[in-house]
C-alpha cells in the first residue's frame, strides 16, 4: 500500500541510492503511476499505450500485494514513521534525526576516530578563528550544495527548496557570502519549472544560482575554499562542514579540508546555508534573524498544499517535448568545441586518456596463478575503508604522486581537475590509489595523543622508510616483491567504483585480507585478478599483532575451489612463524576461472578469440 502511494520521482530517488543500501540496483514495478508520469512528461499516446500493453502482456504490471511473491528477504517500513533526517558526517548510512544533529555533532567532535569521531578536545567545540575578514569555527557550514544526483530530478523536493527560499527571503533571511552555495539541476527541465513557478530568483538571492548540469559538489567539483579558510582549518584543526543533497559523503570526497559532510534534502540544504552551522537545533532554534525578529524552520517550511499548488509547473508535457526534442539546440558552448577527426585517438598527447596496460603481455594461455611468497604488507587498514579511501574521486594535491605526474607532463595546478575526471588515464589513477587524505595506515605508529597520521603513505620494508604508497608499490615491483593489503570490517564499502580494484591491481597487490567485504568490491577484486581473503573467527590485524614488518606466504592450490580455506604463513621480524587459516572469498566457479585467467578482461578476450 505504501509503495503504491509513492510518486514516481520518489521511487526514482529511492532506486538511485541502491549502492548506499548495499544493492546492485533498486527498482519499482511498473504501474499506473508510471504510466501517468510518462504521459505528463511528453511521451506520445502511442508510446505510452505500447509501454502499458507490453508490461500487462508480460504480467509485470502493478505492485504485487503482500503474499503474492515469495522474497528471499523482506523489510517493512511504515512511511508514517519517517522523520526529517540527515546523514553523516562520514558515511551515508549514519542517519541522524534533524533534532539530534547539534547534540550528535557535539558528541562526535571529541569521540575517537575509530568511533566515527574527530578526536578533538571537547572544550574546543566553540572555538572561533579569524580567517580573513570573517570568523569561522567548528561546525560552520562552508559548502551548501543542491547537487545533480539523487534529488534534483524530483520536483517535490526541488519546489520545496524554492518555496523555502521564497519564504526566507520574504522574511529577510540571507546566506553569509563566504558560504559556497550552488544549484546543479538534474536537467534543464528543473530550471524551467523553477523559473515558471517564480522560485528561481529567490534561490539565486540566497546564492543557489544554477552552476551546471552534472556532477559537481558530490564528486568533489565544488571548487576550492578561500585560501584563508584552508589555512585556518589546517592550522587550527577545525572541523567545518558541508551540507549537500547528494547520496555520498565519504571522507575527503566533498573537499579534502571539510571533515564533516552531511547529506540532506534540498530544502534542508537551503535551511542549513541560512543557519550557517550544524551546531543549531533547527527544530527549536531560529535559522536566523529576519526583518521582524527570529525566524524558525517551521516558519519557512512549505506545506504539502503549497508544494501541490506549484507541482503543475513541473509536470508540463510541452516543456519536456521542447527541451528534449532537439538536444543539439541552445548549446552554443558545447557545439562550438572543435573536435579532431580520424579513426583512432591520439593517445600520447593526452593526460586524460591513455592506453591501459591491462592487456600488456597477453597470450592465449593464461599464466598459472601460483602461490604468493614473501609478500609484504603495503597497508594495514581499519574498519569501514571505503572505495573513496581506496580510489578517491576528488581533487588532486600538488605534492601527491598524481600531482607530480601531471606537473611533469606540463599540466598546471589550475588544470589538475579531479581523479574522477581522469579515470581514462591509468598513470594518474594508480598514483591516486590509496591516496585519500583521510586514509589511515596502521603500519605508521600512533602519535603521542593516540591519533594516526592521515594520507597515502606507508613504511617500506625492511628498511622502514616512510614514502608514498605509489612509490613504495613501484619499489616493491622493481624488486620483484609481491604485496598484500590487510583490512578490517566492511572493506570496500561505498561507491561501486571499479578503479578501487583496478588501481589495487596496478600497484602490484596480489591479495587483500580483511574481516569482511562489501559485496561489489569483493567481486571487482576477483575481476581484476586480486585474491580476496577473509579472516576467520576473531582473527584480525589487531588480534594477530600485525605491524607491517612481517612477510606473508599464501599457498594457492591448482584445484582452487570457491570459498575454500587457505593458509597464510606469517613470518615475523624475529623469524618466528604463525599459520593462520583464512577463507578464500572467490565465491563461485566462474570467479575461479576469472582469477586463474588474471581477471575478467583477459578471460573475456581469450573466450572471444577462441570463438
Tens of pLDDT along 119-128?
Answer: 999 999 999 9
How far is 512 from 486, CA to CA, in rounded Å? 6
The radius of gyration of the chain from alpha carbons, rounded to an integer in Å, stands at: 26
Tens of pLDDT along 237-252?
Answer: 999 999 999 888 988 8
Alpha-helix runs per DSSP H in 111-237 = 155-170, 188-196, 200-205, 227-236
CB < 8 Å & 24+ apart, contacts of 32-36:
33/4, 33/6, 33/7, 33/8, 34/8, 36/8
Tens of pLDDT along 281-321?
Answer: 999 999 999 999 999 999 999 999 999 999 988 888 888 88
Indicate whether 469 pLDDT > 90: yes
Quote the pTM value. Answer: 0.86
Tens of pLDDT along 325-364?
Answer: 777 777 788 888 888 788 877 767 789 999 899 999 999 9
Q: What is the pLDDT averaged over residues 491-502?
A: 90
Topology at the third CATH level for domain 372-390+463-610: Aconitase; domain 4 (3.20.19)
Please report which helix (H) or strand (E) contains residue 290, including its range.
Answer: strand 288-290
Q: How confident is the model at residue 79 (pLDDT cuts 50, 70, 90)?
A: confident
Percent of the chain with pLDDT over 70: 99
**Is the peptide bond preceding residue 537 cis, with omega within 30 degrees of 0?**
no
CB atoms under 10 Å from CB of 384, counted, come to 22
**Residues in contact with 335: Cβ distance below 8 Å, sequence separation at least 6, in sequence order:** 328
How far is 546 from 559, CA to CA, in rounded Å? 30
**pLDDT value of position 498:** 92
User: Where along the chain do its domains lie?
Assistant: 2-72, 82-323, 372-390+463-610
Topology at the third CATH level for domain 2-72: Aconitase; Domain 2 (3.40.1060)
**pLDDT value of position 152:** 66
Q: What is the pLDDT averaged over residues 254-274?
A: 96
**pLDDT value of position 337:** 87
C-alpha cell at position 287: 535559522
Average of per-residue pLDDT values in the chain:
93
Phi-psi region of 5 (alpha: psi -120 to 50; beta: other; left: phi over 0): alpha
Tens of pLDDT along 517-560?
Answer: 999 999 999 999 999 999 999 999 999 999 999 999 999 999 99
**Residue 432, Cβ density class (10 Å: 0-12 exposed, 13-18 middle, ≥19 buried):** buried
Percent of the chain with pLDDT over 90: 74
Lowest mean pLDDT: which of 166-180, 387-401, 455-469? 387-401
How far is 169 from 147, CA to CA, in rounded Å? 21
Which of the listed CATH numbers 3.40.50.720, 3.40.640.10, 3.40.430.10, 3.30.499.10 matches domain 82-323? 3.30.499.10
Q: What is the pLDDT averaged over residues 414-439?
A: 94
How far is 551 from 553, CA to CA, in rounded Å? 7
Q: How confident is the model at residue 60 (pLDDT cuts 50, 70, 90)?
A: very high
Note the residue count of the chain: 611
Amino acid at each position: 500500500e505504501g509503495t503504491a502511494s509513492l510518486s514516481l520521482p520518489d521511487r526514482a530517488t529511492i532506486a538511485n541510492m541502491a549502492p548506499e543500501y548495499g544493492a546492485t540496483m533498486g527498482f519499482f514495478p511498473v504501474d499506473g503511476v508510471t504510466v501517468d508520469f510518462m504521459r505528463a512528461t511528453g511521451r506520445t499516446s502511442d508510446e505510452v499505450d505500447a509501454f502499458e500493453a507490453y508490461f500487462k502482456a508480460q504480467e509485470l504490471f502493478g505492485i504485487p500485494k503482500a503474499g503474492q511473491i515469495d522474497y528471499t528477504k523482506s523489510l517493512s517500513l511504515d512511511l508514517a514513521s519517517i522523520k526529517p533526517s540527515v546523514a553523516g558526517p562520514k558515511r551515508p548510512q549514519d542517519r541522524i534525526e534533524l533534532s539530534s544533529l547539534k547534540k550528535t555533532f557535539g558528541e562526535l567532535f571529541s569521540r575517537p576516530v575509530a568511533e566515527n569521531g574527530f578526536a578533538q578536545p571537547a572544550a574546543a567545540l566553540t572555538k572561533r578563528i579569524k580567517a580573513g575578514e570573517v570568523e569561522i569555527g567548528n561546525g560552520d557550514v562552508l559548502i551548501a550544495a543542491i547537487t545533480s544526483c539523487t534529488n534534483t530530478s524530483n520536483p517535490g523536493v526541488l519546489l520545496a527548496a524554492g518555496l523555502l527560499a521564497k519564504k526566507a527571503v520574504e522574511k529577510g533571511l540571507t546566506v553569509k557570502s563566504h558560504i559556497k552555495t550552488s544549484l546543479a539541476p538534474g536537467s534543464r527541465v528543473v530550471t524551467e519549472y523553477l523559473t515558471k513557478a517564480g522560485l528561481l530568483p529567490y534561490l539565486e538571492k540566497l546564492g543557489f544560482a544554477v552552476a551546471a548540469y552534472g556532477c559537481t559538489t558530490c564528486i568533489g567539483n565544488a571548487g576550492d575554499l578561500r585560501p584563508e579558510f584552508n589555512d585556518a582549518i589546517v592550522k587550527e584543526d577545525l572541523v567545518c562542514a558541508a551540507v549537500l543533497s547528494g547520496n555520498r559523503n565519504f571522507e575527503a570526497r566533498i573537499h579534502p579540508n571539510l571533515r564533516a559532510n552531511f547529506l540532506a534534502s534540498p530544502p534542508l540544504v537551503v535551511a542549513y546555508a541560512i543557519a550557517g552551522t550544524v551546531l543549531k537545533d533547527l527544530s527549536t532554534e531560529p535559522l536566523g534573524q529576519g526583518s521582524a525578529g527570529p525566524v524558525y524552520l517551521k516558519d519557512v517550511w512549505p506545506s504539502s498544499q503549497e508544494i501541490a499548488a506549484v507541482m503543475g509547473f513541473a509536470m508540463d508535457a510541452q516543456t519536456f517535448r521542447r527541451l528534449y526534442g532537439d538536444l543539439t539546440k541552445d548549446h552554443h558552448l558545447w557545439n562550438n568545441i572543435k573536435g579532431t577527426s580520424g579513426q583512432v585517438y591520439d593517445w600520447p598527447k593526452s593526460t586524460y586518456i591513455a592506453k591501459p596496460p591491462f592487456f600488456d603481455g597477453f597470450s592465449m594461455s593464461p599464466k598459472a596463478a601460483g602461490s604468493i611468497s614473501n609478500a609484504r604488507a603495503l597497508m594495514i587498514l581499519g574498519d569501514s575503508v571505503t572505495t573513496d579511501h581506496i580510489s578517491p574521486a576528488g581533487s588532486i594535491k600538488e605534492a601527491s604522486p598524481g600531482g607530480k605526474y601531471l606537473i611533469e607532463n606540463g599540466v598546471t595546478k589550475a588544470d589538475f581537475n579531479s581523479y574522477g575526471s581522469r579515470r581514462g588515464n591509468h598513470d594518474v589513477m594508480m598514483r591516486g590509489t590509496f591516496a585519500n587524505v583521510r586514509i589511515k595506515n596502521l603500519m605508521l605508529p600512533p602519535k603521542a595523543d593516540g591519533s594516526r597520521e592521515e594520507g597515502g603513505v606507508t613504511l617500506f620494508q625492511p628498511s622502514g622508510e616512510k614514502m608514498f604508497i605509489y612509490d613504495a608499490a613501484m619499489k616493491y615491483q622493481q624488486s620483484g616483491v609481491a604485496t598484500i593489503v590487510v583490512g578490517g570490517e566492511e572493506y570496500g564499502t561505498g561507491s561501486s567504483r571499479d578503479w578501487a580494484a583496478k588501481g589495487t591491481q596496478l600497484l602490484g597487490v596480489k591479495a587483500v585480507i580483511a574481516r569482511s567485504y562489501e559485496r561489489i568490491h569483493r567481486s571487482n577484486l576477483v575481476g581484476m585478478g586480486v585474491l580476496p581473503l577473509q579472516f576467520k573467527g576473531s582473527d584480525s590485524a589487531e588480534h594477530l599483532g600485525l605491524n607491517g614488518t612481517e612477510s606473508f606466504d599464501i599457498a594457492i592450490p591448482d584445484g582452487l575451489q570457491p570459498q575454500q580455506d587457505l593458509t597464510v604463513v606469517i613470518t615475523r621480524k624475529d623469524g618466528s612463524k604463525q599459520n593462520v587459516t583464512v577463507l578464500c572469498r572467490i565465491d563461485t566457479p566462474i570467479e575461479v576461472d576469472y582469477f586463474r585467467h588474471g581477471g575478467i578482461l583477459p578471460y573475456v578476450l581469450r573466450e572471444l578469440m577462441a570463438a
